[in-house]
Structure 1
Amino acid sequence: MQTFGRWLTSPWRRALLAALAGGLPMFTFPAPSLWWFAYVALVPWILLARAAPTGRRALVDGWCGGLGFMLAVHHWLLPSLHVFTVVLAALLGLLWAPWGWLVRRLLGGTLTPGRTAAALVVLPSGWLAVELMRSWQGLGGPWGMLGAGQWQVAPALRLASVGGVWLLSFLVVAVDVAVAVLVVGRAARVVAVAGLLATSAAASAAWVWAPRPEVDGHVRVAVVQPGTVGGTDSGQRRFDREEELTRRLVGLRPDLVVWGESSVGFDLRERPDLARRLAALSRATGADVLVNVDARRSDRPGIYKSSVLVGPDGPTGDRYDKMRLVPFGEYVPLRSVLGWATSVGKAAGEDRGRGREQVVMDVGHGLRVGPLICFETAFPDMSRHLAHDGAGLLLAQSSTSTFQHSWAPEQHASLAALRAAETGRPMVHATLTGVSAVYGPDGRRVGPWLGTGASTARVYDVPTAHGTTPYVRLGDWPVHAALLVLAALAATEGARALRPRRSAPAPSAPPARTVHGSPARPGH
């Protein structure tokens, strides 16, 4: 143990250990999907930061851990952005520096019940503040939120309907803090156990109290996944393959057919022949076809990614333009400064156009759908707004073909489970090359995933539901509560720093010397 302590005295070794500790939560996400590991994954990072010799060192521990976390969760970007991935992870890792300081402030030294109780609330609140800041699209968006690793746990999905993925992240961090206290604390262990019991009680209460989505019917949704299509004319070949697969749905009576992101690489106004072929597919299958056009627009400048609904008479006029673009993948932030990223990776050579508002489409059969495009499924507020505006079914059109042989397709497909549970609305995640997935209004999987090796069309019987979840009604209330906790902490610390120190008592005069029993006079 002493040897290990001496090993940590090296700043570089300590920084490396912090980065490795920060990367541990990556195993809670797909593909490994070790959801249970989330409840201990932060413990090594917490123990390292609490043992920092100074507050400045704790800030560095927080930064290095954040770097490790961001790099591990986004490691599949390395083939596209190369060294720039590390640069971005280092910049975003700075957001965790104050969190590392908070860990030392509340858990460092000898633990007391009071500080432990505060840590069980403040540290999860601090983590939520970090997730809120990095959820801004310009900083990369909310991919890899800690609570998202709980996408396949039924009780967690129930909690998501109450407070969204934010509530899950809060509870996961709270459990990690309690476990860390159990490892190092003695007098504070009772508080840690009480915190674990309180967390379990809150989760159980939410399980009983939270209203369940009331299934009121089913809708048949067909997902068309063409798979990898290469060649110099890949756009046309992909369209031909999607058309072939869609014709296999004739006689299966789907209510809606969904193609993936960038499934049509041509503006339908410029290619009326393709619009006619899509209309023929709609007539043959008896269902509208929702395609995704990734092309330069003829009615406005720029390239847009747009969900376009096509009926038996052609495009219906319902169109949604993607609003939240992938940084570097679809636009380069501060291109005048960071444009060099296009020379070291696969960053966008031209910024895509940006949509202005979300759209709810009427596809017939009494069904209203809310489309999202790829990266947008990571944002809880977008699906919540669609549900609030009356969408009965959420649709995600996606393509992760660039990251085909990585963990990205599985991670992306899992996000739809959380969006479904949060809103109480079923969600269909349709991709070009996998993974495509469908989830019911409770977030549970409907039918099998279509993996990255599949080239097929499949019809899913998707349960529909009515009612409104607490999360749709109340929004991101766990974030607001966390910010209030941090504001209260800041006010308390500020008041303590400004409080005038009590003046030290004046030193008492030394006792007078006595000479033969009488007080000595000066000069004697």
Structure 2
Amino acid sequence: MPENLALASAHPTGAEAKPGLGDLARRSQRQSHRILIAALAGALTSVGFAPIGLWPGTVVGVAGFALASRGPYSGCRAAAVGTVFGFVFTANTLNWMGMIDLGAAAGLIVAMTTWYALLGVATNLAFRTRAWPVLSAGLWLAMEYAASRFPFGGFGWLRLGYTMIDSPLSGLLPLVGVGGLSFATALLAQSLAWVAIRTSWRRVSVLAALIAGLLLAALAGRALPPPATTGNITLGWVQGGAPGGGVYGIGAERSTSYRHASQTAKLAEEISSGRADVPDAVIWPENATDLDPRVDATTRSLIEASVAAARAPILVGTILKGPGQDERQTASQWWTTQGAGPTYIKRSLVPFGEWIPFRDVLLPLVPQLRYVGAQSVPGTVAGTLPVTLRDGRAATVGVLLCFDVAFDQVAYDLPGNGAQIIVVQSSNAMYQGSSQVDQQFAITRARAAELKREVLVVTTSGVSGIIGPDGKPRLRVEQGAASGVTTLPLRDGLTPAAMISVPLQQVLSLASLAWLALLARSCYIRWAIGIRNRYTFITVKTPSSTR
């Protein structure tokens, strides 16, 4: 009689035994501890961002996130750790969006928290390799790179590199840019966690060597000279002041135009009396006018009167109607006595702040989104304006409009396309009194340091100022109406960061994701083998029949 084969489930024994109630309680307690560590880590990471600016807190916070993500537990639990970390972190740093709309703030925090939930899962998986500090740092960079681009153009506001502008590692900025500094910061934090898990002389020595190497590289970056000077430019700047507070922070219609025209008249008096130098040009901020001067006669007359009073061209931050129905563009226009000249259209727009994704679908469903107003349409070319100065000299002015500063390629395109001076025009009136204003100024400081360029920042209501090529503020003007004149060098040339930072981020991110994919495949194979070994074919032999 042939053998009979039966498929039977093997009884779990030893390490495969089902956990008892005590084991489940201990696992639950450990998970609670990890959640608590994740929450504390999120809070610590947030203190490195402006206006607090305690960068050691960010390093310790990221290390705490790594420790909380470590453990042989499910992806859902790892995602929970990342979610708690991300929520505490983003709620502490992005709550200023609530000044526009609480729903928009909630949506932004949820969207950003999702990235940290994914990072929690990826970091947990990274612990399957001995070189997990390197992989985890690469995964952090990959998350920042992706979040800066997806969804809806991205929101790269909370990058680790921005927190390090006042740290000893800030010298890395002109070498590897904000993205490279984020990777270095994450690597330092992961290595700190590596030592905390098991302290030994070998691990401490590796950490010390890493710190020494980063500091030496930072010193080399600081020693890198700024691009060559090709002359000087004298710029007047005008901060018109604004009432602030929410969507209508710049005030009633045309009031922002009147404020900037009035403050320009005061600056003109200072120039005429000799108390201020005669400028080659005057810079107004973003939203210095809120109506299109091409179609609004009052706005145009205010600009023309200001040009005449200053006796110099004015770079005007304005709103242009079109190109389509119920559309607008945020622009920077060079105005002279002959009218409007070279114009830059803002490339980087805030989703649900300046434009509504899927507008035709969402606007009827969420009527409060009407606060956005007409749909903003982005520009497509670099903000480099070839202009003629008051004395007839030609120059190329590089312009970043507000949210532009948070996007690497938009910033690097300026010196890459011949910008000799960089100005940042911004309108922070709607966020007046919140941490957003200081956060943006810190981001701009990082841009100045990585490009090794002086940057003039002009806003409607603060913070305006002048930033040196080392990222240090030379002038900082707080809330209210103000104006002045400053002389800055014209420069030509690129830093290494402007050339390699974006490709470096892409290579490190792709390499880290490929490494993670190999780990995931290995883990899946081990899991599949384990499932198969839980079952065995038991050969049951029956006695032969008596013949």
8 Å CA contact retained: 2:70, 2:124: yes
Matched, 1:413 2:477: no
Q: Which residue of 484, 496, 502 corresponds with 1:458?
A: 484
Q: Which residue of 45, 67, 70 corresponds with 1:47?
A: 67
Matched, 1:176 2:189: yes
Q: Which residue of 305, 313, 332 corresponds with 2:330?
A: 305
Q: CA RMSD in A?
A: 3.2
CA drift of 1:164 comes to: 0.9
CA drift of 1:434 comes to: 0.8
Q: Which residue of 202, 208, 215 corresponds with 2:220?
A: 208
Matched, 1:120 2:140: no
Cα distance between partner residues in 1 of 2:337 and 2:110: 51
8 Å CA contact retained: 2:172, 2:217: no
Cα distance between partner residues in 2 of 1:91 and 1:494: 28
What is residue 514 of structure 1 aligned with on the other side? none
Q: Which residue of 25, 38, 43 corresponds with 1:18?
A: 38
What is residue 246 of structure 1 aligned with on the other side? 264
Which region of structure 1 is more displaced relative to structure 2, 223-232 or 375-384? 223-232
Cα distance between partner residues in 2 of 1:127 and 1:362: 39
What is residue 384 of structure 1 aligned with on the other side? 412
Matched, 1:63 2:75: no
What is residue 283 of structure 2 aligned with on the other side? 258
Matched, 1:354 2:378: yes
Q: Given residue 223 of structure 1, which amino acid in structure 2 is its aligned partner?
A: W
CA drift of 1:135 comes to: 0.3
Any stretches of 5+ residues in structure 1 without a counterpart?
A: 109-113, 505-524
State how many pairs are aligned: 489
Q: Given residue 444 of structure 1, which amino acid in structure 2 is its aligned partner?
A: K
Aligned pairs (5 A) from 1:18-37: 18-37=38-57
What is residue 209 of structure 2 aligned with on the other side? 197
Aligned pairs (5 A) from 1:425-504: 425-447=453-475, 449-452=476-479, 454-479=480-505, 480-491=507-518, 493-494=520-521
CA drift of 1:208 comes to: 2.2
Aligned pairs (5 A) from 1:247-396: 247-250=265-268, 251=271, 252-272=277-297, 274-297=299-322, 302-316=327-341, 318-339=342-363, 342-343=366-367, 347-363=371-387, 364=389, 365-396=393-424
Considering Cα pairs closer than 8 Å and 6+ residues apart, tell me whether 1 or 2 has the greater RCO: 2
Cα distance between partner residues in 2 of 1:186 and 1:17: 19
8 Å CA contact retained: 2:257, 2:289: yes
Cα distance between partner residues in 1 of 2:440 and 2:412: 18
Q: TM-score, normalised by structure 1?
A: 0.84
Change (3 A) 1:362 1:248: farther
Counterpart of 1:248 in 2: which secondary structure? helix
Identity %: 26
Cα distance between partner residues in 1 of 2:384 and 2:284: 17
Counterpart of 2:254 in 1: which secondary structure? helix
Q: Which residue of 103, 111, 115 corresponds with 1:95?
A: 115
Change (3 A) 1:276 1:457: same
What is residue 538 of structure 2 aligned with on the other side? none
Q: Given residue 436 of structure 2, which amino acid in structure 1 is its aligned partner?
A: A
Change (3 A) 1:245 1:11: same
Which region of structure 1 is more displaced relative to structure 2, 5-14 or 425-434? 5-14
Change (3 A) 1:167 1:203: farther
Q: Given residue 30 of structure 1, which amino acid in structure 2 is its aligned partner?
A: A
Q: Which residue of 140, 147, 157 corresponds with 1:143?
A: 157
What is residue 241 of structure 2 aligned with on the other side? 227
8 Å CA contact retained: 1:258, 1:289: yes
Cα distance between partner residues in 1 of 2:178 and 2:481: 32
Matched, 1:104 2:124: yes
Cα distance between partner residues in 1 of 2:292 and 2:522: 61
Q: TM-score, normalised by structure 2?
A: 0.80
Change (3 A) 1:321 1:467: closer
Which region of structure 1 is more displaced relative to structure 2, 120-129 or 470-479? 470-479
What is residue 401 of structure 1 aligned with on the other side? 429
Change (3 A) 1:240 1:481: same
Residue by residue over 1:314-366, the C-alpha shift from the partner in whole angstroms, topping out at 9 and shown as x without a partner, is 212x1111222111111112234543785457751432222232231123344
Cα distance between partner residues in 2 of 1:391 and 1:197: 39
Matched, 1:38 2:50: no
Change (3 A) 1:339 1:191: farther
Cα distance between partner residues in 1 of 2:360 and 2:204: 51
Cα distance between partner residues in 2 of 1:402 and 1:13: 39
8 Å CA contact retained: 2:235, 2:283: yes
Residue by residue over 1:281-301, the C-alpha shift from the partner in whole angstroms, topping out at 9 and shown as x without a partner, is 334423210111124348976
Counterpart of 1:417 in 2: which secondary structure? helix
8 Å CA contact retained: 1:80, 1:345: no
Cα distance between partner residues in 2 of 1:13 and 1:335: 43
Which region of structure 1 is more displaced relative to structure 2, 170-179 or 236-245? 236-245
CA drift of 1:126 comes to: 0.3
Residue by residue over 1:447-489, the C-alpha shift from the partner in whole angstroms, topping out at 9 and shown as x without a partner, is 2x1112x211122232443331001222413312232133134
Any stretches of 5+ residues in structure 2 without a counterpart?
A: 1-21, 272-276, 534-547
Cα distance between partner residues in 2 of 1:37 and 1:484: 28
Cα distance between partner residues in 2 of 1:339 and 1:12: 41
